[in-house]
Amino acid sequence: MKESGSSPAAEEKPLSYRSLVLTGYGGYDKIKLQVKTHNKLQLKAGEVLVRVKACGLNFAELLGRQGLYERLPPPPVTMGMEGSGVIEAVGDNVEDRKVGDRVIVLIRCGMWQEVVVVSADQTFLMPEQMSFEEGAAIPVNYISAYMMLFDMANVRPGKSILIHMAAGGVGIAATQLCQTVQDVTVFGTASASKHETIAQGGVTHPIDYRTKDYVEEVRKISPNGVDIVLDPLSGSDTQKGFNLLKPMGTLIVFGAANVVTGQRRNLLAMAKTWYNQFTLNTLKLMQTNKAVGGFHLGHLTDQQLITKTMEKLMELYKQGKIKPCIDSCYHFEEVADAMRRMHERKNIGKVILLPEPKKKEEEPKSNAEPGEKVEKTESAANKKKEEATEEVKAEKD
């Protein structure tokens, strides 16, 4: 393992770091802030050690906490697919990364901790002007939006598109990417309070899905419908999206947001979404001259394709054509508040988690005094072997 200015003895020094651990399925209290320790950390060939500065929160983690995300290993597990940070050590056979490099990281899970060990090819060099928060906001949202728009839907000048949840991370990414193509009309659904922001970001026609029928609103402006629909909702909305397509149009399904209605699993919502699931046969596709595709970044294993897409996105960022919209930043101690904000769909853009400990004067309010809180935490840790030496339950202010 190559490390800047370190000796073999320093390399063997125990490494302790804070980690957000999903201890079971359920509400916000199932995510515990713990301290993990490795007595001896040895990097394998091709690996790098990254000190994490910022992490992204995605809808997949909301599903994962409820046991609804199949790509997440069973608890106890550290969630988080994306983040950014600084390389602190590199293993053998790593030629294009060095200690001190600022990088973006995209992995299957395990990002929500202060340090991560990953394969070097899962890291991407950050432009100098990019902040760590922006870096953590790029991978999942922008790779998804780019591949759906350009690799699957083949968006071109003069086309029209319906983007659901247009104020979310993927929605804003897709809207920005549409601006890189001439004369693309964007219909975007979002609550009324977010319309001014998404309109400034490039949504041509904002639609309040809470008070209006978005199908009727689209038809008023474009009677023939749209060329592309990006559907993160599933259920009955997929059928509506298919019906809204013009001939030669494309519907891309990339989520099932309708199954998440609260902090715990809702069996009724799941059953309703499943019952209303869109089904069709190839004959109907032929007769309607429409295409349906599915996208799931968690199941995409072509690392070369992901790397090429990230390179394109980094170039677009340098050109000023895309820029992540950061809604809010929460320290690890505040993970429940971060998840609650996304659950309630209050965010406009990306919600970011910060591994850096929250300063004492910024600590969330608690009925217990700081010393009492630490004492109780240590006591609980001693009683339960599976708990870490430090545990902080994130509570809403």
67: left (phi over 0), alpha (psi -120 to 50) or beta: left
Q: How many CB atoms lie within 10 A of CB 46?
A: 16
- pLDDT value for 242: 96
Supply the pTM of this predicted model.
0.85
Distances (CA, A) of 127 to 107, 308, 317: 20, 16, 8
The one-digit pLDDT tens for each residue of the chain (397 residues) are 555 433 343 346 788 999 999 999 999 999 999 999 988 788 999 999 999 999 999 989 998 998 988 889 999 999 999 999 999 999 999 999 999 999 999 999 999 999 999 999 999 999 999 999 999 999 999 999 999 999 999 999 999 999 999 999 999 999 999 999 999 999 999 999 999 999 999 999 999 999 999 999 999 999 999 999 999 998 889 999 999 999 999 999 997 654 455 555 555 555 655 556 677 888 989 999 999 999 999 999 999 999 999 999 999 999 999 999 999 999 999 999 999 999 898 999 999 999 999 887 654 443 333 333 333 333 443 444 333 334 443 333 3
Q: How many CB atoms lie within 10 A of CB 256?
A: 22
DSSP 223: T
Q: In what order do the strands lie in the sheet with 15-22?
A: 15-22, 31-38, 392-393
Which positions ≥6 away from 350 have C-beta within 8 Å?
56, 57, 136, 137, 141, 169, 172, 324, 325, 326, 327
- pLDDT value for 396: 35
* Residue among 85, 100, 84, 122 at smallest CA distance from 2: 100
- pLDDT value for 12: 62
Phi/psi for 263 (5° steps) reads -75, -20
Which positions ≥6 away from 343 have C-beta within 8 Å?
62, 260, 262, 263
Q: Evaluate whether 152 touches 168 at the Cβ level (below 8 Å).
A: no
Enter the tokens of residue 82: 């994306």
Enter the tokens of residue 219: 């038809």
Which positions ≥6 away from 152 have C-beta within 8 Å?
250, 252, 293, 295
Report the sign of the C-alpha dihedral through residues 300, 230, 66, 17, in that order: positive
d(CA 87, CA 143): 22
Q: Evaluate whether 47 touches 25 at the Cβ level (below 8 Å).
A: no
Domains of the chain: 16-137+324-354 (3.90.180.10), 141-319 (3.40.50.720)
> Mind giving me the DSSP string for 16-37?
EEEEEEE-SSSSGGGEEEEEEE
Query: Where does the chain show beta strands of DSSP type E?
Result: 15-22, 31-38, 47-57, 82-90, 102-106, 115-119, 123-125, 160-163, 185-189, 205-207, 226-231, 245-253, 291-294, 326-331, 350-354, 392-393
- pLDDT value for 39: 82
- pLDDT value for 129: 97
- pLDDT value for 1: 54
